[in-house]
Structure 1
Amino acid sequence: MITTTGLTKVYESRGRQVTALDGVDLHVREGEVFGVIGQSGAGKSSLIRCVNLLERPTSGTVTVDGTDLTALAGRGRRANKDLRRARSRIGMVFQHFNLLSSRTVKDNVELPLEILGVSGADRSRRALELLDLVGLADKARAYPGQLSGGQKQRVGIARALAGNPKVLLSDEATSALDPETTRSILQLLRDLNRQLGLTVLLITHEMDVVKQICDSAALMKKGRVVESGTVAELLATPGSELAHELFPVTGDASGPGSTVLDVTFHGEAATQPVISQLSRTYNIDISILGAAMDTVGGRQIGRMRIELPGPYEENVVPIGFLREQGLQAELVAPDADADAGAGAGADADADAEADADADVQEKAAVPAQNAPKLVKEIAK
């Protein structure tokens, strides 16, 4: 449904170039919820704005529902008729809602249809249908200032659905909300995905978002996609950064000469007493150093760090037993947590530099995204 190939975006600022996207290849299948995760400055916002060409890519292609949007863009700064028509099938939900405070809730939802020239009666009918769909039928005549943050985002979602889109883009839609409201908005997005057959591409910096609703995910760093796939595939991939971030486990060996493993449970194995079976079968004492278990996509998935007595060579058979049960077992090198901490420090420095670049990008290329700007962005 969404494919980017070799996508790059370079901003010019004060005589220097800032690369926000560096050859991004991404494939989002029809009907799935796909999450793009990364720290500030990773290029997530630039990516999602390039998908609907609110930002024009420096190079590369963007294809949505079989249409190459970059081929429709033309040379002018404003969108032509063909690009506007293609965009009408792509809804977008913003982080800070971007509602017009002078319009009622119903009028905000009608805005995209008004720009597209839909008649007043049809606009009104569609807006009321959508407000009912997002649970705000009783707020049609209210104004944004009278709503809570979660209600404002529901209005934003209803507005994004006004043109019957096949694709819904979510730009950090829950980052300004409290945890309980975040859960309700994510559940709404998942319900819409299932009821309407929507393909949802969302960007976030929160792992809980990926856990709750994503079928697939991609990790971005410094303008590049460094890892992507279905959540199940990522959890089954040895050394997956996303898997480790989704289910972080730590714990140090009790002493030298033991074997420490990170074991990933998914599928039927997640509900079986595999560790106790291992202990009884081989008559060994097993220490659990850390564990993380959660439900992802309706399935229990988790990771556990365990310690087996003796060196690796003495534990080849027990490790083989774990793998025969459908578990992923990775050997943890000594001082792995210390090495990870050192790496995190280096990453923090890199993220700080990326954050500075992100600020430059926003100031240079994306002026303040306040509510009145919404009209211009939809009409581009």
Structure 2
Amino acid sequence: MHPCPGTPTPVHSTVTETHVITTSGLTKVYRSRGREVTALDGVDLHVREGEVYGVIGQSGAGKSSLIRCVNLLERPTSGTVTVAGQDLTALAGRGPRAGRELRRARSRIGMVFQHFNLLSSRTVQDNVELPLEILGQAGRARSRKALELLDLVGLADKAKAYPAQLSGGQKQRVGIARALAGDPKVLLSDEATSALDPETTRSILQLLRDLNRQLGLTVLLITHEMDVVKSICDSAALMEKGRIVESGTVSELLATPGSELAAALFPVGGEATGADRTVLDVTFHGEAATQPVISQLSRTYNIDISILGAAIDTVGGLQIGRMRIELPGRYEDNVVPVGFLREQGLQIDVVGQESLLVKEGAK
């Protein structure tokens, strides 16, 4: 049985997948002046190889703590973090050798920051070379690699410029090139677009998606912007008060009655025009998104249907739509029309009737 709106449970695929990032029971407690603040409360996260995975939540939800624990910039209070088959938490705190092993493991995880974190005294090329310098790579090889990466992110002509001469979007492209210097399998993005204007945000998101496809990168990003999830994410998780309250592929979430993420991705409004009315939220995806299902319903059952709100967009390469419609009569009078919609492969949520929504989800 599915829960009512507001209390969705995590959605998980039943297909066996290779998970590149896994956290298990991850907890982070900050202690200050005798007080304890729990930023992460038993987080289980599973990011599959080659996907773009978005973690969304409001400020204070624990997103930043989560992503910093994934590469052990923050030491978890308890729980484990595994990246590319390696338990990073086992590398922490076991003397100098463990420190070296952790640094080596972390070098295979790229990190893109919200405010770029570029060194103003270094040229663009020198900023990209910095991680390679730390890894002890020879000068000529560093230079060649940095120029290749700058070309990859569209900044080949800015190699000798300084950060102060760049726009915000260009600075973030340098940050992305630097994050790729160690040939990582995983790229972490910490609110990478929140300081950018909408047009620049779109270009950076497209770059991340292109790199995901070209390099086979697994991308884990955190954000408070639903449009980021809508634009490039294959899977998503909603965080609240240090916990993941809902997770799954975008298509799974859209097919889950009462999903908060689905409703936030495609908000549709509209109130019933009278007491004797049935209001439905209808989710279209795949082939159903292009079929004239609502007009077929109206003709087949000779009923007048009001459209109260609608939204359609492309998410993860799939055309998705949500529509709020009103049917004359109470729900009991519309069981057959609702059944017709479900037979067309549509997801149906009954609005304003929580007990009926549970029934719908249980069928």
Q: TM-score, normalized by length of structure 1?
A: 0.87
- How far the C-alpha of 1:335 sits from its partner, in A, is 11
Q: What is the distance in 2 between the residues matched to 1:179 and 1:194?
A: 23
Q: Aligned pair count?
A: 336
Aligned to 1:27: 46
Question: What does 1:1-380 correspond to in 2, within 5 Å?
Answer: 1-75=20-94, 80-333=99-352
- How far the C-alpha of 1:120 sits from its partner, in A, is 0.4
- How far the C-alpha of 1:75 sits from its partner, in A, is 4.8
What letter corresponds to residue 237 of structure 2 in structure 1? Answer: A
Deviation string 1:232-273 (CA, Å, 9 cap, x unpaired) is: 000001111100110111111111111111111111101111
What letter corresponds to residue 275 of structure 2 in structure 1? Answer: P
For the residue of structure 2 that corresponds to 1:265, the secondary structure is strand
- How far the C-alpha of 1:30 sits from its partner, in A, is 0.4
Q: What is the distance in 2 between the residues matched to 1:124 and 1:266?
A: 47
- How far the C-alpha of 1:77 sits from its partner, in A, is 10
- How far the C-alpha of 1:297 sits from its partner, in A, is 1.6
- How far the C-alpha of 1:330 sits from its partner, in A, is 1.0
Q: TM-score, normalized by length of structure 2?
A: 0.91
Query: Bigger CA drift: 325-334 or 152-161?
Result: 325-334
Q: What is the distance in 2 between the residues matched to 1:329 and 1:231?
A: 17
Unpaired stretches in structure 1, ≥5 consecutive residues? 337-380
For the residue of structure 2 that corresponds to 1:255, the secondary structure is coil
Q: What is the distance in 1 between the residues matched to 2:216 and 2:175?
A: 19
Query: Bigger CA drift: 90-99 or 71-80?
Result: 71-80
What letter corresponds to residue 173 of structure 2 in structure 1? Answer: R
What letter corresponds to residue 37 of structure 1 in structure 2? Answer: I
- Aligned-pair RMSD on alpha carbons? 1.4
